[in-house]
Amino acid sequence: MSALVQDFSKAMSQAGSSQFQEVIRQELEYSMKVELDKILATAHSNEIEHTKKDLEGFKKLFHRFLQEKGPSVDWGKIQRPPEDSIQPYEKIKARGLPDNIASVLNKLVVVKLNGGLGTSMGCKGPKSLIGVRNENTFLDLTVQQIEHLNKSYNTDVPLVLMNSFNTDDDTKKILQKYSHSRVKIYTFNQSRYPRINKETLLPIAKDVSYSGENTECWYPPGHGDIYASFYNSGLLDNLIAEGKEYIFVSNIDNLGATVDLYILNHLMNPPNGKRCEFVMEVTNKTRADVKGGTLTQYENKLRLVEIAQVPKAHVDEFKSVSKFKIFNTNNLWIALSAIKRLQEKNAIDMEIIVNPKTLDGGLNVIQLETAVGAAIKSFENSLGINVPRSRFLPVKTTSDLLLVMSNLYSLNAGSLTMSEKREFPTVPLVKLGSSFTKVQDYLRRFESIPDMLELDHLTVSGDVTFGKNVSLKGTVIIIANHGDRIDIPAGALLENKIVSGNLRILDH
């Protein structure tokens, strides 16, 4: 079979006989079908329906994967988006709010992407259950924000969580604690797709189970799966029946992604009378964001282009801050009726992301994924809104966690806002070394979170600990070489300092 795959790759890379390509493609699809049927045959009666839907969805994705050749964009066709297709947030905000904002809010559903685990931060279980501020988790803050909206405006904005098979059980256990909050919470699961062997292009799973040694055989196929999963769950139809019209989708670890009434009003009451089906919040690139997906004009449609789709020769141009000034925050506002229409026509077109992985045993696999924002080109009357950077506050690492736990931000009704005491609105650049990667190690190394109001840049490397009430200002670099340890004493003020060598503080 491996030779067959090599033949296929070779045939795809040459413009050779299209007939030959087609024969190999059909053989690969047939082999895949046989394997998927074997897997389906192992399902219990209560698993058959949803397993069948998952495997059907995977089969479609695999079919498209075999059809596509090379980078999925023709670089020559990429243009800057027209001026009016990306509106500045200030212009949207300047319209103000109508008196009936409550009736507008009642048309909204908040959806959080909750499929990810906390493994990259050394935590077991869903990432949304990591404590980020005063013992509050990402999920706590989300519920507090929506509850505050519902109480302030006497509305009924529900929260929907898109879980994955990795996060569903743990999330559902935790949801009981919100049973008395003023937020209706719904969940649905994204699909479960089989990982495929990179050599044979066949699933590595032999049956439907995904516990024990089988956990590595399956994966959630990226957040582009939201459209099909939301539709298949029946929740989309239920919400439309309740009179809901738009979803606001964002990553649960983006603490800046709160409901914005001005954007919502722009959607519901458009100035030109023509409603947008899809709004993507973008923000200006900094040097840290050069790999972020950007909005372009492509064949007369707004299109999200990700770095993985760019031909190698143009990657540096793609990263250029001067040519592509904005990137996608993954805060999206989408019309429910449009999702239903496009899903029923099978007309949502998203580029396939081929994500290679090496499993613990050394086996190379690939997983086929899609991204939610890539569907922008399938919707009518799409719009980008260039929002302030404060709406993009993702917590991907403990360096990010340090920022959001610090006095740079104040917490009010679940929302973080930059402290008024900070004289300039930019966020300091923080790089914590590998000793801080895991949340429990990071927490052990800070007796209390330092005062960072006047910090510009912090780099910490090696075995370093911080005492209570430390103050960091300007640029601070602390490097403990291998075998050394640095204890920053309680109450220390470090301003524009480089600290290296050995500094032990011993109790006596």
**148: annotated binding-site residue?**
no
Q: Is 91 a catalytic residue?
A: no
Nearest Cα neighbor of 115 from 265, 4, 315, 249 is 249
Question: Is the C-alpha dihedral spanning 433, 438, 443, 445 positive or negative?
Answer: negative
- To the question of whether residue 367 is assigned a binding role by annotation, the answer is no
Neighbours of 491 (CB within 10 A): 10
The response to whether 396 counts as a known ligand-binding position is: yes
Contact at 8 Å (CB) between 107 and 333?
Answer: no
The verdict on whether residue 177 carries a ligand-binding annotation is: no
Q: What share of the chain is helix, strand, coil (3-state, %, to 5)?
A: 35, 25, 35
Q: Is 438 one of the annotated binding-site residues?
A: no
Is residue 405 within 8 A of residue 304, CB to CB? The reply is no
Contact 223, 162 (CB under 8 A): yes
- Residue 270, Cα to own-chain centre: how many angstroms? 28
Please state the separation of Cα 451 from the chain's center in Å. 29
Q: 3-class secondary structure for 92-150? A: HHHCCCCCCHHHHHCCEEEEEEECCECHHHCCCCEHHHCEEECCEEHHHHHHHHHHHHH
Tokens for 89, please give them.
């947030």
Does 253 carry a binding-site annotation?
Answer: yes
d(CA 388, CA 366): 36
Catalytic residue among 184, 396, 438, 497: 396
3 state SS for 138-203 = HHHHHHHHHHHHHHHHCCCCCEEEEECCCCHHHHHHHHHHHCCCCCCEEEEECCCEECEECCCCCE
The Cα diameter of the chain in Å comes to 82
8 Å CB contact between 475 and 429? no
Catalytic residue annotation? 396
Q: Binding site, residues?
A: 127, 190, 222-223, 253, 396
Q: Binding site for substrate, residues?
A: 223
Q: Binding site for UTP, residues?
A: 127, 190, 222, 253, 396
